[in-house]
């Protein structure tokens, strides 16, 4: 128990350090991008501002303070639960993120389910006949998944279905599951498929490698000698002991989806956190981008912590350590 508590404390301390690093990096990188909120909101008209008008706007946007003052002011507000305010949307960043995060989370869950449904069976089939056609097909499928960019697959799929079948539910305006479950599931289908196919590629490779590694161990040969059926051998003995790397890869990919689905959300007009960050960068809304990225980083850290706990549930060797 003490070892477990020590491990949790170390992991929590590392996670906190990661969040601090992300906060510092995002804050100063945003300021390094040319332009500011004034030029983003006024465009070419910003050049015609008088000095008094510019100073007034700088004070309004908080740009008249030093970088250090802006940073610590933002951090202080974070500890009070204030993520900032979006001038463009005329809403608090907390409200915007609370509305956008469930969209991205739903998309990530659907994409992971599809990725696992594709990746694990294909990886196991490929490992069961090394060098045979099913192995070649499995590795070719993973190579295609890694090679085809998400934006290309998304635009091709969306254009083909919209032009030839008239299927474009994402053009209707986003509906939550509680507003219209049928439309919501239709709107999530294509983006989940695009992301799931891309993520299935590393899962295929990870599953294949893990299954091959476990298949060569002594306890598997012993099980075969005892006459254990092929199905029981594959799922109870081999797959269960190969789950650690698969879970690790799945956790990493799920964390990536929480912030890395920007392009897909933009193409399919999904109001998720990725699209929110993109809009914030375009509008130079520092508070919106900083706080949203920090929320994404926190979600990624939480996923990693849950993944570590899941290790202990599926592998007794980890519990023993």
CA–CA distance, 239 with 90 (Å, rounded to integer)? 51
> What mean pLDDT do residues 66-92 have?
82
Given a cut of 60, whether residue 99 has pLDDT beyond it is yes
The pLDDT-based confidence of 31 (bands split at 50, 70, 90) is: confident
The pTM assigned to this predicted structure is 0.81
Least confident of 148-157, 197-206, 280-289: 280-289
Euclidean distance between the first and final Cα of the chain, in Å? Answer: 11
> What mean pLDDT do residues 188-199 have?
91
Q: What is the pLDDT of residues 204-235, one digit of tens each?
A: 999 998 888 887 777 777 777 777 777 777 77
What are the sequence ranges of the domains in the chain? 93-320
Contact present, 154 and 198 (Cβ < 8 Å) = no
> What mean pLDDT do residues 255-272 have?
84
Helix, strand, or coil (residue 251): helix
Least confident of 43-52, 80-89, 127-136, 248-257: 43-52
The pLDDT-based confidence of 43 (bands split at 50, 70, 90) is: low
Per the document, the length of the chain is: 321
| pLDDT for the residue 118 | 92
The pLDDT-based confidence of 192 (bands split at 50, 70, 90) is: very high
| Element housing 91 (H / E) | strand 91-92
State the average pLDDT for the chain.
Answer: 82
CATH architecture of 93-320: Orthogonal Bundle (1.10)
Question: Which position has the higher pLDDT, 51 or 211?
Answer: 211
| pLDDT for the residue 107 | 92
Contact present, 110 and 188 (Cβ < 8 Å) = yes
Q: What percent of the chain has pLDDT over 90?
A: 13
Identify the residue whose tokens are 């499928």.
Answer: 141
Q: Which residues of 45-78 are buried (b: 16+ CB within 10 A; e: fewer)?
A: ebeeeeeeeeeebeeebebeeeeeebbeebeebe
CA–CA distance, 290 with 278 (Å, rounded to integer)? 12
The pLDDT-based confidence of 5 (bands split at 50, 70, 90) is: low
| pLDDT for the residue 197 | 92
Given a cut of 60, whether residue 281 has pLDDT beyond it is yes
Structural Rg of the chain based on CA atoms: 24
């Amino acid at each position: 128990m003490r070892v477990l508590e020590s491990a949790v404390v170390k992991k929590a301390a590392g996670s906190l350090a990661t969040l601090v690093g992300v906060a510092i990096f995002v804050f100063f990188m945003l300021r390094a991008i040319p332009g500011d909120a004034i030029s983003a909101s006024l465009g070419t008209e910003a050049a015609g501002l008088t000095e008094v008008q510019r100073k007034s706007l700088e004070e309004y946007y908080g740009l008249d303070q030093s970088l250090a003052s802006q940073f610590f002011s933002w951090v202080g507000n974070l500890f009070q639960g204030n993520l900032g305010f979006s001038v463009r949307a005329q809403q608090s960043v907390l409200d915007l993120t609370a509305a956008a995060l469930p969209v991205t989370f739903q998309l990530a869950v659907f994409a992971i389910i599809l990725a696992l449904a594709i990746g694990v069976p294909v990886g196991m089939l490929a490992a069961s006949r090394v060098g045979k056609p099913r192995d070649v097909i499995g590795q070719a499928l993973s190579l295609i998944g890694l090679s085809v960019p998400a934006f290309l697959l998304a635009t091709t799929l969306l254009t083909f279905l919209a032009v030839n079948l008239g299927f474009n539910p994402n053009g209707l305006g986003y509906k939550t599951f509680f507003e219209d479950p049928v439309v919501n599931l239709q709107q999530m289908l294509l983006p989940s498929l695009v992301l799931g196919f891309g993520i299935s590629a590393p899962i295929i490779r990870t599953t294949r490698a893990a299954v091959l590694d476990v298949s060569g161990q002594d306890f598997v040969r012993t099980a075969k000698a005892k006459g254990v059926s092929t199905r029981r051998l594959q799922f109870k003995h081999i797959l269960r002991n190969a789950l650690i790397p698969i879970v690790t890869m799945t956790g990493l990919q799920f964390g990536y989806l929480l912030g890395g689905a920007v392009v897909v959300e933009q193409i399919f007009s999904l109001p998720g956190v990725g699209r929110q960050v993109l809009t914030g960068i375009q509008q130079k809304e520092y508070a919106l981008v900083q706080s949203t990225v920090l929320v994404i980083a926190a979600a990624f850290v939480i996923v990693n912590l849950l993944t570590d706990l899941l290790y202990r549930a599926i592998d007794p060797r980890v519990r023993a350590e």
